[in-house]
């Protein structure tokens, strides 16, 4: 399906009504990709967002524990498909560091201000898209489902509705139980018999349902 049209009048309105819109025919699905901050991952699913970009659910093969992470498809690349926007994003950051107008005491050249604004807008669009998909995925979690942290720690959800955000209605805390593989963390985390409350910060790189992919 085509990407959902962005709402230029109120982009934050969508964040209170998160819905999943899978792009089943995306050419990214099944691709081994590289993201801007990590090594190779495999794209398992792709979702359209109201922010003008698609977000990929990636299976990240790590040296210790595999995990799932979200990344905007425009930031991904393969050997055949370089990520032009990712390159521009990183180049823009390097340019900021090399500009003559250093930001000191609130003063900077007009060129510096423009570069900062472009990078902030670029990052903001991608960040909102990832947070949108993250919130929608967590909304579908049911008791008994497995979830995984960005570091690969797996847990079973016992109560997904422990606490919600009053402003947006998102789930912000879940009661979880460490899976047997990770029960050795019980003592260091101070959890009773592997049970605890997990805070969900909605930063676009936190807790995700495993969907049986790990």
Q: Are 116 and 196 in a shared domain?
A: no
Looking at residue 99, what is its pLDDT? Answer: 57
DSSP state of 73: G
Q: Are 167 and 108 in a shared domain?
A: no
What are the two backbone dihedrals, phi and then psi, of residue 193, each rounded to the nearest 5 degrees? 55, 35
Looking at residue 19, what is its pLDDT? Answer: 83
Is this model's pTM higher than 0.75 or not?
yes
Q: How far is CA 5 from the centre of its chain?
A: 20
What are the mean pLDDT values of the chain's consecutive 10-residue runs (214 residues total)? Answer: 45 65 95 76 95 93 87 88 71 62 60 74 86 94 96 95 86 95 88 91 90 92
Total count of domains within the chain:
2
Cα–Cα distance list, 45 to 25, 30, 126, 148, 193 (Å): 10, 8, 17, 16, 34
Tokens coding 111: 């060129």
Tokens coding 72: 């905007």
Is 5 inside any structural domain?
Answer: no
Q: Are 62 and 120 in a shared domain?
A: yes
Q: Are 106 and 189 in a shared domain?
A: no
Q: Are 39 and 112 in a shared domain?
A: yes
Q: Domain containing 193: what range?
A: 146-209
Cβ atoms 125, 75 nearer than 8 A: no
Last residue of a domain, one of 139, 166, 195: 139
SS3 category, 67? strand
Is 15 inside any structural domain?
Answer: yes
Last residue of a domain, one of 94, 111, 139: 139
Last residue of a domain, one of 139, 157, 175: 139
Q: Are 109 and 197 in a shared domain?
A: no
């Amino acid at each position: 399906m085509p990407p959902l049209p962005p709402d230029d009048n109120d982009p934050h309105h969508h964040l209170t009504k998160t819905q999943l819109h899978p792009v089943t025919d995306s050419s990214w699905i099944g691709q081994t990709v590289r993201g801007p901050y990590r090594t190779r991952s495999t794209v398992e699913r792709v979702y359209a967002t109201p922010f003008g970009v698609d977000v990929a659910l990636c299976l990240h093969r790590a040296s210790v524990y595999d995990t799932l992470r979200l990344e905007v498809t425009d930031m991904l690349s393969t050997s055949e498909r370089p990520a032009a926007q990712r390159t521009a994003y990183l180049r823009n950051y390097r340019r900021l560091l090399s500009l003559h107008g250093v930001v000191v005491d609130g003063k900077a050249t007009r060129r510096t201000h423009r570069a900062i604004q472009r990078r902030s807008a670029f990052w903001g669009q991608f960040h909102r898209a990832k947070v949108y998909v993250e919130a929608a995925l967590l909304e579908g979690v049911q008791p008994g489902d497995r979830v995984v942290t960005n570091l690969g720690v797996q847990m079973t959800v016992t109560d997904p509705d422990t606490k919600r955000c009053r402003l947006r209605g998102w789930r912000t805390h879940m009661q979880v139980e460490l899976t047997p593989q990770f029960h050795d963390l019980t003592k260091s985390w101070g959890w009773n018999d592997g049970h605890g409350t997990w805070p969900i910060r909605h930063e676009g790189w936190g807790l995700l349902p495993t969907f049986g992919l790990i």
